[in-house]
C-alpha cells in the first residue's frame, strides 16, 4: 500500500532534488509497508533510522545549494529543516519503538510534513535556484545522496534491513 506517491506537482525543477524527494517518499512507503506487515520493532526502528539519516543527507544537500547561490530565504529554510529533524528525534528519543502508535505517529508526521514542505517552502527556492543553475552551465550537480533503493525498484521488494543483508546472514546450522 502506498502512503505517499510522487506527482509532478511536487517538482522543483531541479533533477537531483526531485530525485531525492522521490526517494524520500519511497523510504516513507517502505516504513509504512514494514509497519502494515507487522514487522518487528527492530525492523521498523532500522527503517525509521534510515529515513532520518536520508532526511539529514537531503537537507544538507538542499542547504548547500541555497547557501552557495545566496538564496535570500536560506536561514529561514534551514531553521525549518532543523526543527523537523528535532521533531523526528523527539519521537525516537525513547529508544526502540515501544508501540506501533509511536511509529505511525512519526510516519504521518514525515508524510504530512514532506508534502507541505515540498509544495510550499521548496517551491520558494525552486525558481531562484533554477535561474542560478542555468546561468552556470558548467556547474556539476552535487553528489547524489546514498540510497538503499535501486533506481527502479519497488520499495517492498528491494529494500533489505541492514541486519538481514545476505552478506551478514548466519548460515543455517543443523539443530
For residue 21, the domain's CATH number is 1.20.120.50
Domain membership of residue 103 as a residue range: 13-135
pLDDT tens sequence across 43-78: 877 887 888 888 899 999 999 999 999 999 999 999
Number of domains in the chain: 1
pTM: 0.72
pLDDT tens sequence across 111-160: 899 999 999 999 999 989 988 888 875 445 444 444 444 443 333 333 33
Q: Is residue 65 part of a domain?
A: yes
Q: Is residue 131 part of a domain?
A: yes
Residues 62, 20: Cα–Cα separation, whole Å: 10
Q: Is residue 161 part of a domain?
A: no
Amino acid at each position: 500500500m502506498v502512503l505517499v506517491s510522487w506527482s509532478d506537482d511536487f517538482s522543483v525543477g531541479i533533477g537531483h532534488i526531485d530525485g531525492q524527494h522521490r526517494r524520500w517518499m519511497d523510504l516513507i512507503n517502505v516504513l509504512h509497508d514494514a509497519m502494515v506487515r507487522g514487522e518487528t520493532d527492530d525492523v521498523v526502528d532500522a527503517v525509521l533510522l534510515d529515513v532520518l539519516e536520508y532526511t539529514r543527507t537531503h537537507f544538507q544537500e538542499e542547504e548547500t545549494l541555497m547557501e552557495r547561490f545566496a538564496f535570500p530565504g536560506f536561514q529561514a529554510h534551514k531553521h525549518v529543516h532543523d526543527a523537523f529533524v528535532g521533531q523526528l528525534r523527539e519521537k525516537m528519543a525513547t529508544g526502540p519503538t515501544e508501540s506501533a502508535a509511536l511509529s505511525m505517529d512519526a510516519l504521518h508526521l514525515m508524510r504530512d510534513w514532506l508534502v507541505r514542505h515540498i509544495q510550499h517552502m521548496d517551491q520558494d527556492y525552486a525558481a531562484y535556484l533554477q535561474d542560478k543553475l542555468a546561468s552556470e552551465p558548467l556547474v556539476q550537480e552535487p553528489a547524489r545522496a546514498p540510497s538503499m533503493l535501486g533506481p527502479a525498484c519497488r520499495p517492498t521488494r528491494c529494500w533489505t534491513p541492514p541486519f538481514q543483508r545476505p552478506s551478514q546472514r548466519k548460515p543455517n546450522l543443523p539443530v
